[in-house]
Amino acid sequence: MAEALTLPVVPPLSRKDFVSDQEVRWCPGCGDYSILAQTQKVMPDFGFPKENIVFISGIGCSGRLPYYMNTYGFHSIHGRAPTLATGLKAARPDLMVWVITGDGDALSIGGNHVLHSMRRNVDIKLIMFNNRIYGLTKGQASPTSEMGKRTKSSPAGTIDQPVMPLSIALAAEATFVARSVDTHTEHLQATFESAGRHHGSAFVEVLQNCNIFNDGAWRAFTEREVRDDRMLFLAHGEPMIFGKDRDKGIRLRGLHPEVVTIGEDGVTVDDLLVHDEHAEDPYLAFMLSRLSYPEFPVPVGVFRSVDHPTHDKLMQAQIDEARAKSGEGDLEALLNDGETWVAS
Amino acid sequence: MTTETPARHEDQVQELERVTIRFAGDSGDGMQLTGTQFTRTAAVFGNDISTLPDYPAEIRAPAGSLPGVSGFQLSFSSSEIHTPGDQPDVLVAMNPAALKTNIMDLPAGGALIVNEDAFNQQNLKKAGYASNPLTDGSLKSYTVFSIPISALNARALDGLDMTSKQVDLTKNFFALGIMFWLYERSMDPTLRWIDEKFGAKPIVAEANRRALKAGYAFGETTEIFHTHYRVPSAHLPAGKYRNITGNEAAALGCVAASKLAKRDLFYGSYPITPASDILHQLSTYKNFGVRTFQAEDEIAAIGAAIGASYGGAMGLTASSGPGIALKLEAMGLAVMVELPLVIIDVQRAGPSTGMPTKTEQADLLQVMFGRNGDSPLPVVAPATPAECFDYAIEAWRIALKYMTPVVYLSDAFLASGSEPWRIPDVADLPSIGVENHTDRASFQPYARDPQTFARPWAVPGTPGLEHRIGGLEKADITGNVSYDPENHHRMQLLRREKVARIANDIPELQVAGPATGELLILGWGSTYGAIRSAVERLQAQGRSVAHAHLRHINPFPRNTEAVLRSYRQVLIPEVNLGQLLMLIRARYLIDAIGLDKVRGKPFRIAEIEQTALDLLDRK
Ligand code: SF4
C-alpha cells in the first residue's frame, strides 16, 4: 500500500503548524516544555508534510507529548511504544515515526522492546526523557536513579546499580545514538535535527529536569556557569576539548580515557582523542557513553551515526524479491495449491 | 496415469464403510509423517477423512521412553464423518512404549501390528514391561500381527550406501507400505512425495521407495493377513477438494481476507506451540504482500500488529493461551482505540505452560474477560479444520466493518487435525472491504457510523485528519482525552453496544434435529464432530435430541435464547471445566448442564452419547 514518499510541493510549514489545540499539562517548570518546543521547532525542517509524521508514546509524563503535536499521534501502553512503531513503520515505510519515552518506560518495562527495535534498525527516532525518577506516579526510583537514592519507594536508598542508557543503546546496535539537555535549546534542536535525518534506529537521551520529584538531577554539570567545564560537546572530526578556556581534553591511556590539560606535561591537541561518529565499530562511542560526572565531563551530541539497511527496507526488499520471482500472489492459485481431487 | 502400484487379486477383499488407524511409535520414528501420508492418499482417493495427531511436547524425549511416544490417528470413510474415530480399528505400534501407551484404546478383537524387532530387553524395560507382551499372552484379546519390520526393511535396503541408523529411519515407510496394501491404497501419491522431497538426495529417495514397496510386497506375499479391506470413496458434495489442517486453513483465510479487503496483511507473532505453523506458512506468502514479523515477545507481536492496523494494514497476531495472557493488555488498548485487529488463539491445555501439544478449549473466559475494565470484543470459533478458513474471513469482516479487535478461537485439535476442504470459488467469497476516512469536513475521530457504531479509520498520511488516539478514555465524538464521569459511562455503553449490535449481522443459530424436544446439545469449536456424530446416533435410536453449534460466541446469535428454551434440557460438552456453560447460564438463566473433559484429548462420540442417554432417561 505504501509507496515510497515523494514530497509534494507545499508551502513551508512553521513551528505553529505543529502545535495542537490541546492544553499542555505538565507541571510548571518541567523540562518537558522545552523538549516539546524544540521538537515543534525542528519539525518543519525535515520537509515532511505533517500528516506523514507520527508520534507514538508509552506511559509516563513524556507520554503526553503526542497530544501536543499537531501530527498523527498514538499514546499507547507502558513500555510498548517501540512495538507499535515497528509495526507501523513496517506497514507504512512512507511515514516518519517518532517514539517518545522516558527512563522508566524505555529502560524498565519496555527494555526488551528498546533492545529489539534498535538491533533491527527500525527507522524510528526514539527520544527518551531521562529525569532519573518516576514522575507520573509521584516519585519512585527509576532504572537510571543513582545508587543509594532515597525516594518514596526507597526510603533507605536504592540498592540497584543504575543503567547507562546510551551504553545500552549502543550494545543494542542502535545506528544513531545521541544525548542532549532539556535546557540547552539550540543543542537540543541540533540533536533532534540529526536524529530526524538519520535513516534507521535513533536513540536520543535528553537529560530532563523533573522539578517536582527530582529537581536538579543534572544541575551539577548542566548549569550555564559550569557546563563548559563539566560537559564535553562532541563534534565529528574534532579533538575532544572542553573547559571554559578550551584547555582540557580527553586522552586515551591504554584502554582508559583520562582528562588532561593541554600544555601541561607536554600534552598537545594532537594527543587528544578525535571524535568519529561514523566509526563502524562502537568502541569509541561506548567509551564515551561510560563517562560521567564528576570523574569526567559528560559528553553530549552525537555519539554514533552509521548507515545500515533499515528494517522496513529489508522487509520490503523481500516482498519485492518474492513478487519478482513468483509474480503478484494469485488467490485462486493459492487456494488450489497442492494435491487436489474432484468429487462429482 | 501410469502407476507403480501393482494390480491386486480380487479374492479376500472385504468392504468396510469406515476404518480408523492409529500409528504410534517413538517420536524419532516418523509417525506424524506416516499418518500424514496415509491421510493424503486416502483424501486423494476420495474418502472423507478426519485426523488427530498426538505428539509429545519434548523435541527429543529419550528414545523408547513412554513420554517420547508420538501418535497419529486417522479415520477414513465412504460416508461423511465428523471425527477421527473414538477407537482405532488398527493400532500400529513401532515399539513397546507405543504399545503400552496406546493399547488401552484398542477394542477387543482390534488389529494390532507391531514391529517385533523393537521388543528387546532394553525397550521393554524402558516401557516398564516386566515380560514381553508379545509372548506372555497378555495381548490375546487382540488380533496380533507381529512382524520383524526392522529386519525386513533392512534386508530391502541391502546394498544402499547408508548407515544402519539411516536404514532404520525408513522403517516407518515399510509399515506404511503394509497399511497401503491392507487398505488397497495406491502407493503413487507417496512415491511422488518421495521424489519431490528427496529429489536432491537420490540414496535417501531410493531407500524410502524401497521401504514403502517392500512393506507393500510383504502384505501381498505373506500369509499372515487373510484379508485386505476396501473403503470406497465417499460421496462428498461435488467440487474440488484438498486436505487441510486448521492452521493451514486459518493462514489461507487471512490471506484471502487481505485480498478481499485489498489491504496488506501484517502478521506479528512469537513462536509458540501449537500456533507457530501459522507464522511458518504466512512467511511464505510474501508475494501476496504479507509482512510477517517474528517479534521479541508476545507483547511486541500484538503491539506491532496494532501499529500496522493504525497505519491502515490488517494487523494480525496469533498465539496460544500463555501468549494470549501476555497480549491481554494490548488487546484492551485495541478495544479502547477501536482499530481492526484479529487475534488467533490456538488453545492448548493450561493453566500456565500446561501441556503444550494437547488440546483444550479453556481460554474462552480468558479472551472474554481477561482484561482490566469492561472490555468487550467479538469472539468467533470455527468448528472444523475446514471452517478455519471461513471464520478467518468472518473475523476480518467483523474487525473491519466494526473497527474492533476480534478473537478467533482455534485449538490444538483443529489446528493440526485435517479434513477434506472443498476449495471455494474466489468469486463466491464475501466482499469485506472498507474505505479509509478522508473527508476533512465530517471528520471526528470518535464519531460513529449510526448502524455499526464503528468509528472512522483515518490513517496517517491523510492530510487534514491529524489526530491523537491512545489508551486514555476518549471523549465521545472528538476522541480527546476525557476524565468526565458521564462521558466514561457513556463510552462504556457505546463500546458494549457496538459489539452487541454485531448480533444483527451474523447468521442465526442453526439446529440439526427437531426444532423442539427433550435435549439440545450445544457446543462450540472443535467438539463439533463428536457432538454431531453422537446426535446422529441418538436420532437413529429415535431419541428427541438436537445439536446446535455456536460459531459466534460474542455476541451470541440473536435467536440463541429461543433455541435453548425449545428443549427440556440443554447439555454443553466442553474441553474445559464449564466455560461456555457459565456464559450461557449467566446470560440466559437457563439451567444448562455441563459435560467436562480436560484430558488433552477431544471428546469421544460415545462419551457424549452416553451422557445424553443418561439425561434422557433421567426422570
Ligand atoms: S512530575 Fe516531573 S516530569 Fe512529570 S510533569 Fe511534573 S515536573 Fe515534569
pLDDT category at B11 given cuts 50, 70, 90 is low
CA angle B447, B452, B456 (to 5 degrees): 35
> What is the average pLDDT across A195-219?
98
CA B484 distance to own-chain centroid: 46
Superfamily (CATH) of domain B242-425: Thiamin diphosphate (ThDP)-binding fold, Pyr/PP domains (3.40.50.970)
Check: complex ipTM more than 0.85: yes
On the question of pLDDT at B600 being above 60, the answer is: yes
CB contact under 8 A, B303 and A92: no
CA atoms within 13 A on the CB side of A237: 0
pLDDT category at A87 given cuts 50, 70, 90 is very high
pLDDT given for residue A232 in this prediction: 98
pLDDT category at A343 given cuts 50, 70, 90 is confident
Instruction: Tell me the C-alpha distance between B391 and B408, whole Å.
Output: 8
Q: Determine the residue of chain B that is closest to A323 in CA distance.
A: B287
Instruction: Identify the bridge partners of residue B572 per DSSP, sorted by sequence position.
Output: B594
Span of A129-133, B12-16, B311-315, B376-380 with lowest mean pLDDT: B12-16
Q: Tell whether B423 is within 8 A of chain A (Cβ).
A: yes
CB contact under 8 A, A51 and B287: no
pLDDT given for residue A10 in this prediction: 58
Three-class HEC string of B555-571: CCCCCHHHHHCCEEEEE
Q: What percent of chain B has pLDDT over 70?
A: 98
Q: Which CATH class is domain B10-230?
A: alpha beta
Q: Does A61 sit in the ligand 1 pocket, CB within 6 Å?
A: yes
- Structural domain boundaries in chain A: 15-217+310-316
Length of chain B equals: 619
pLDDT given for residue B228 in this prediction: 84
Q: Tell whether B197 is within 8 A of chain A (Cβ).
A: no
Give how far A193 is from chain B: nearest CA, Å: 21
Q: Does A105 sit in the ligand 1 pocket, CB within 6 Å?
A: no
The strand pair at A298-305 and A202-207 is best described as: unpaired
B residues 235-254 near A, CB within 8 Å? Answer: 235-243, 252
Cβ atoms of A292 and A232 within 8 Å: the answer is no
pLDDT given for residue B23 in this prediction: 97
Q: Tell whether A75 is within 8 A of chain B (Cβ).
A: yes
Q: Determine the residue of chain B that is closest to A314 in CA distance.
A: B291
Q: Tell whether B305 is within 8 A of chain A (Cβ).
A: yes
On the question of pLDDT at B2 being above 50, the answer is: no
Q: What percent of chain A has pLDDT over 90?
A: 95
Query: pLDDT of A157-188, one tens digit each?
Result: 999 999 999 999 999 999 999 999 999 999 99
Query: pLDDT of A308-338, one tens digit each?
Result: 999 999 999 999 999 999 999 999 999 999 8
pLDDT category at B390 given cuts 50, 70, 90 is very high
pLDDT given for residue B5 in this prediction: 63
On the question of pLDDT at B102 being above 60, the answer is: yes
Helix pair B202-221, B149-156: axis angle to 10 deg:
120
**Residue B407 to residues B258, B335, B338, B433: CA-CA distances in angstroms?**
17, 11, 14, 19
Closest by CA position to B453, among listed B490, B485, B489: B490
Q: Going edge to edge, which strands form the sheet with B418-422? A: A340-343, B239-245, B418-422
Give the residue carrying C-alpha cell 478467518: B392
Query: pLDDT of B575-586, one tens digit each?
Result: 999 999 999 999
Q: Which of A87, A321, A329 sits opposite B303 (nearest CB)?
A: A87
CB contact under 8 A, A87 and B263: no
Span of A230-239, B2-11, B90-99, B279-288 with lowest mean pLDDT: B2-11
Which strand (E) or helix (H) includes residue B586? helix B579-588
- Provide Rg for chain A, Cα atoms: 23
Closest by CA position to B498, among listed B448, B557, B428, B463: B448
pLDDT category at B199 given cuts 50, 70, 90 is confident
Give how far A301 is from chain B: nearest CA, Å: 30
Instruction: Tell me the C-alpha distance between B331 and B321, whole Å.
Output: 14
CB contact under 8 A, B460 and A52: yes
pLDDT given for residue A6 in this prediction: 62
CB contact under 8 A, B462 and A328: no
pLDDT given for residue B57 in this prediction: 79
Query: pLDDT of B50-85, one tens digit each?
Result: 999 988 877 778 889 999 999 999 999 999 999 999
CB contact under 8 A, A56 and B307: yes
What value does the mean pLDDT of chain A take? 96
pLDDT given for residue A5 in this prediction: 61
Cβ atoms of B49 and B42 within 8 Å: the answer is yes
CA atoms within 13 A on the CB side of B434: 24
Query: Which of B468, B469, B480, B482 would you mutate first to test chain A, the one with the most A CBs within 10 A?
Result: B468
Query: Which of B38, B188, B262, B286 would you mutate first to test chain A, the one with the most A CBs within 10 A?
Result: B286
CB contact under 8 A, B470 and A76: yes
A contacts of B293 (beta carbons < 8 Å): 86-87, 90, 315
Cβ atoms of B399 and B227 within 8 Å: the answer is no
C-alpha cell at B44: 486423494
Q: What are phi and psi of A14, to 5 degrees?
A: -125, 175
pLDDT given for residue B1 in this prediction: 39
Three-class HEC string of B218-273: HHHHCCCCCCEEECCCCCCCCEEEEEEEHHHHHHHHHHHHHHHHCCCEEEEECCCC
Instruction: Tell me the C-alpha distance between A178 and A162, whole Å.
Output: 19
pLDDT given for residue B575 in this prediction: 98
Buried b (16+ CB within 10 A) or exposed e, A34-73: bbbbbbbbbbbebebbbbbbbbbbbbbbbbbbbbbbbbbb
Instruction: Tell me the C-alpha distance between A298 and A323, whole Å.
Output: 50
Q: Tell whether B306 is within 8 A of chain A (Cβ).
A: yes
> What is the average pLDDT across B433-454?
97
CA B17 distance to own-chain centroid: 25
Query: pLDDT of B273-299, one tens digit each?
Result: 999 999 999 999 999 999 999 999 999
Instruction: Tell me the C-alpha distance between A179 and A298, whole Å.
Output: 10
- The residue nearest atom 6 of ligand 1, judged by CA position, is A27
Query: pLDDT of B340-366, one tens digit each?
Result: 999 999 999 999 999 999 999 999 999
Three-class HEC string of B173-203: HHHHHHHHHHCCCCCHHHHHHHHHHHCCCHH
**Helix (H/G/I), strand (E/B), else coil: A61:** helix
How much is the pTM?
0.94
Q: Which of A70, A72, A87 sits opposite B306 (nearest CB)?
A: A87
CA atoms within 13 A on the CB side of A113: 30
Pick the CATH number of B511-616 from 3.40.50.2000, 2.60.40.1220, 2.102.10.10, 3.40.50.920: 3.40.50.920
Rounded to the nearest whole angstrom, what is the distance from the C-alpha of residue A33 to the centroid of ligand 1?
Answer: 10
Q: Which CATH class is domain A15-217+310-316?
A: alpha beta
Query: pLDDT of B501-537, one tens digit each?
Result: 999 999 999 999 999 999 999 999 999 999 999 999 9
Q: Does A95 sit in the ligand 1 pocket, CB within 6 Å?
A: no
**Helix (H/G/I), strand (E/B), else coil: A63:** helix
CB contact under 8 A, B423 and A315: no
Cβ atoms of A124 and A82 within 8 Å: the answer is yes
Q: Tell whether A72 is within 8 A of chain B (Cβ).
A: yes
* Residues B236/B240/B242/B245 CA torsion (nearest 10 deg): -70
Q: Tell whether B440 is within 8 A of chain A (Cβ).
A: no
Rounded to the nearest whole angstrom, what is the distance from the C-alpha of residue A62 to the centroid of ligand 1?
Answer: 9
Which strand (E) or helix (H) includes residue A252? strand A248-253
* Cis bond upstream, residue B340 (ω within 30): no
A contacts of B40 (beta carbons < 8 Å): 339
- The residue nearest atom 8 of ligand 1, judged by CA position, is A30
CB contact under 8 A, A88 and B293: no
Q: Which of A52, A69, A339 sits opposite B461 (nearest CB)?
A: A52
B contacts of A88 (beta carbons < 8 Å): 307-308, 310-311, 460
Cβ atoms of B569 and B590 within 8 Å: the answer is no
Q: Tell whether A87 is within 8 A of chain B (Cβ).
A: yes
pLDDT given for residue B9 in this prediction: 54
Q: Does A172 sit in the ligand 1 pocket, CB within 6 Å?
A: no
Instruction: Tell me the C-alpha distance between A137 and B494, whole Å.
Output: 30
Query: pLDDT of B230-272, one tens digit each?
Result: 999 998 899 999 999 999 999 999 999 999 999 999 999 999 9
Query: Which of B80, B296, B309 would you mutate first to test chain A, the one with the most A CBs within 10 A?
Result: B296
Q: What are phi and psi of A232, to 5 degrees?
A: -120, 110
The strand pair at B90-93 and B111-115 is best described as: parallel
Instruction: Tell me the C-alpha distance between B525 and A39, whole Å.
Output: 51
B560: left (phi over 0), alpha (psi -120 to 50) or beta: alpha
**Residue A18 to residues A22, A51, A59, A178, B349: CA-CA distances in angstroms?**
12, 10, 22, 24, 51
CA A160 distance to own-chain centroid: 24
- Structural domain boundaries in chain B: 10-230, 242-425, 436-505, 511-616
B contacts of A72 (beta carbons < 8 Å): 460, 466-468
CB contact under 8 A, B293 and A77: no
Q: What is the DSSP string of B142-174?
A: SEEEEE-HHHHHHHHTTTSS--HHHHHTTHHHH
Give the residue carrying C-alpha cell 510498548: A80
Q: Which of B287, B330, B461 sits opposite A95 (nearest CB)?
A: B461
Q: What are phi and psi of B476, to 5 degrees?
A: -50, 140
- Give the largest CA-CA distance in chain A: 98
Q: Which of A20, A80, A344 sits opposite B330 (nearest CB)?
A: A80
